[in-house]
Structure 1
Amino acid sequence: MIKSISFKKVAILFGVLALMVFAVSCGKSRDTGNDIDASPMPTEENINFDYMDQQSPEPDSAEEKIDFVFPEKGVRPYAVMIDNQGSNCLPQGGMSQAQVIYEAIVEGGITRFMPVFWGQKTELIGPVRSARHYFLDYAMEHDAIYVHIGWSPMAMSDISKFKINNINGAYGVFWDITNDKSNWQDTYTSMEKLQEYVKQVNYKTTTDKEMVFKYSEKDQELTNGKKAEKINLSYSQEYKSYYEYDGDKKLYLRFRNGKPHIERQTQEQLTTKNIIIQKVKNYDIKGDQAGRQEVNTVGSGEGYYITNGKCIEITWSKASRTERTKYLDSEGKEIVLNPGQTWVQIFPVSGKIEME
């Protein structure tokens, strides 16, 4: 004879079963100048992080949780030339998702950017512009696939000389975001398009190149660092980069010529964790009527490493154009970056730096 079961026991039984189902469901993963033409595109002169899966060190507490995903050793990144001339190029896209961004002077006293991406799925990167030969030196440090539309004569020669894997205005990889045919500052690409092209041309996607930067697993304060909560970098009379420290977020807000520097995809102001200022000599290339620059990336010099509202003096050295740049502190040790985006300001020795 079957004994009756009380309502209370039935309720308890169903409660246990519901908890078991919930536990199983929670354990499931969830899919979540006058540059040479880059045919068929016109020449230059005539938007939450979504990184690749990677294990990060477990934080000791919830307060120490770090969202930044480190550049992955052995993975080839993409380095993309980004326009920064005037206002038609604004806002630029994809900048917030790069792990490292280089800024260097070009002709006319303006600057150009080269963000470096490891494995993201960025949907808008641009506006893409033409190559300059000294940017190649930093792309080669990372063994990056170099993305551009057009090139200066020296860059064209060096891409061939150094056999750099590059994507130059390839058909189907780039598109214009406006209908203005006279606008040469509106051409964009995406990581999906770049990766599709790389598969077609069979570029290798792995590298044995040594990583350029070392990272701390946790946020660290600079020992004996001097106050650096406002950093003004005058590249020329025409162009200035400015950073202001947000102590609550422990990030630097970025400004471009006195205005917040905005990311196109999010419409939010760009922020960064680390800033490296690398002082270099630059000068007009003899005989170049467009005023293109030579930038001495090889050799040694001085600079600064800035993070968490503090600054230390550093030195840099680079043995050859293909070798990585080493950034050393006052004790001759390589600097260790805090987890987060890093801007590398390749800055003229003749430029003006103000910090407070």
Structure 2
Amino acid sequence: MTSRVRVGRIEVDRRSVLMKKIVLRKLSGQLRYRLLPWLAAAFLVLAAGCQSGPEATSAADATTASPVTTAATTAAATETTAATTETTAATAAPTQTEAGLRVNLLTGEPLADPQAERQRPVAIMINNIKRATPQIGTGAADLIYETLVEGGITRMMAVFADIAAIPEIGSIRSARHDYIDLAGGLDAILVHFGSSNLAGDQFVLQNTAHLDLGRDADSYWRDQGWWDNRGKEHSVKTTGALLGEALNRASFRKELREGMPTAFRFRSPDDFVPADGEPASQATVPFSNYAKSTFTYDAATKRYSKGQFGQPHLDLADGQPLRFTNLFLLSTGIAVCDEAGHMDVQLENGEGYYVSGGQCQAIVWEKGKTGDSFVFSDASGQELTVNTGKSYIALVPDSNAITFSP
């Protein structure tokens, strides 16, 4: 049974109280007061009877008796309002519009398809428990986020600048509220299969643009082999083609918002400079006793290969490990936030490391509200300039030590 607390003469569940606090924390001050009456009404609706279990699963999935193999796509989706996620962080990073560049927003490299330069990125929730590995399609992502979700496990978010570049990808799992904020900082459309209650509440309260594949059986399929060997919940896949059909049917904005900065301040593609710090041919990122990511540098390719569970972290599509030019290993406060054991990640600011070119550098970072972009700075406070290429961002409990080997 959901725990309840008494506020004045109104009895409400703890989840509703927490959701109100989380959403208010994410809104900018001016917009917060403009939306307070609406938020209060939504809060009372939640308090009156939203008593679902720890994770909301779609009705379509609950009634599926055999693998779905259809290919047409529709998905429930709503638009993120300017009031909540159209706020960008103050940053001097060049934008595609300002610089007149046809570059990948996430890597700084030339876009394979210049017509994709105004597309909103697509961010896909990826299952990352050992039983669900190796995943497929993750090696094609331009940017990957990873952080704890519950019970010591992590979930990844694979982000693509061009929807046409998304291959067969899976397994896709449910959204968590922190990933809504991470996607929002990129103006990305979040793709998921179901959600935690907190994430579901935030989607509604912030009117977030997202695609819940589980709400329409035509938007995904289940891999029969994965279902048999890994379990039904670890079998969901989709493709860029399916997601493209979903976006064509959706009513929300598909174009990147004006003035959107690149994800990082990039150097010229011809100018590769290692991080300004100590040698770091290996890095260890301990999320929990269960989940630990490792990275090994290859000087020939100038990229780090990812490992986990004591072995290379492979993409089943080509059998190769995930590889990144840049690593952003960020320490922050992470704590259990509800009775289901879901985690809440502090995304205001903190310290961490930038790792590239076989070296690591101490940095500071800040984000803030849902629509704010990350800003990374060196120890002197100057905004960091990074190498072009694929990047990985880890948000790690500040009680766990990130370590390096020369």
Same fold? TM cut 0.5: yes
In structure 2, what is the equivalent of residue 211 of structure 1? 262
Secondary structure at the counterpart of residue 81 of structure 1: strand
When the two chains are superposed, the root-mean-square deviation of aligned CA atoms in Å is 2.4
Determine if contact 1:275/1:343 at 8 Å carries over to the other structure: yes
Residues 288-324 of structure 1 show CA distances to partners (whole Å, capped at 9, x for unaligned) of 33211111112x2100100010111100112323211
In structure 1, what is the equivalent of residue 77 of structure 2? none
Determine if contact 2:377/2:384 at 8 Å carries over to the other structure: yes
Q: 1:352 to 1:330 in 2, by over 3 A?
A: closer
Q: 1:216 to 1:85 in 2, by over 3 A?
A: same
Q: 1:272 to 1:236 in 2, by over 3 A?
A: same
Determine if contact 2:185/2:373 at 8 Å carries over to the other structure: yes
C-alpha distance in 2 between matches for 1:184 and 1:329? 42
Q: Counterpart amino acid of 2:341? A: G
Determine if contact 1:68/1:340 at 8 Å carries over to the other structure: no
Residues 200-220 of structure 1 show CA distances to partners (whole Å, capped at 9, x for unaligned) of 123322122333322212242
Return the match for 2:308 from 249, 256, 272. 256
Determine if contact 1:70/1:339 at 8 Å carries over to the other structure: no
Structure of higher RCO (CA pairs closer than 8 Å, 6+ residues apart): 2
Cα deviation, residue 84, structure 1: 0.5
Q: Which runs of 5+ in 2 are unaligned?
A: 1-52, 64-100
Q: 1:171 to 1:324 in 2, by over 3 A?
A: same
C-alpha distance in 2 between matches for 1:109 and 1:223? 30
Cα deviation, residue 70, structure 1: 11
Return the match for 1:198 from 221, 232, 247. 247
Q: Counterpart amino acid of 2:344? A: E
In structure 1, what is the equivalent of residue 280 of structure 2? 228
C-alpha distance in 1 between matches for 2:179 and 2:113? 22
Cα deviation, residue 116, structure 1: 0.6
In structure 2, what is the equivalent of residue 101 of structure 1? 144
Greater CA deviation, 332-341 or 300-309? 332-341
In structure 1, what is the equivalent of residue 176 of structure 2? 132
C-alpha distance in 2 between matches for 1:128 and 1:154? 18
Q: Counterpart amino acid of 1:117? A: F
The structure with the largest alpha-carbon Rg is 1
In structure 2, what is the equivalent of residue 331 of structure 1? 380
Cα deviation, residue 282, structure 1: 0.7
TM-score of the two chains, using structure 2 as the length reference? 0.70
Determine if contact 2:275/2:356 at 8 Å carries over to the other structure: no
1:156-305 aligned within 5 A: 156-168=200-212, 169=214, 170-178=216-224, 180=227, 182-208=231-257, 209-217=260-268, 218-222=270-274, 224-285=276-337, 288-298=338-348, 300-305=349-354
Q: 1:78 to 1:266 in 2, by over 3 A?
A: same
Determine if contact 1:121/1:192 at 8 Å carries over to the other structure: no
Determine if contact 1:121/1:190 at 8 Å carries over to the other structure: no
C-alpha distance in 2 between matches for 1:199 and 1:128? 21
Q: Which runs of 5+ in 1 are unaligned?
A: 1-32, 44-53, 58-65
Q: Counterpart amino acid of 1:211? A: T
**Aligned residue pair count:** 302
Cα deviation, residue 223, structure 1: 6.0
1:27-176 aligned within 5 A: 34-42=54-62, 74-87=118-131, 89-119=132-162, 120-168=164-212, 169=214, 170-176=216-222
- The answer to whether residue 322 in structure 2 is matched with residue 322 in structure 1 is no
Residues 78-128 of structure 1 show CA distances to partners (whole Å, capped at 9, x for unaligned) of 0110001122x1111221111110001111111000011011432311100
**Larger helix percent:** 2
Cα deviation, residue 178, structure 1: 1.6
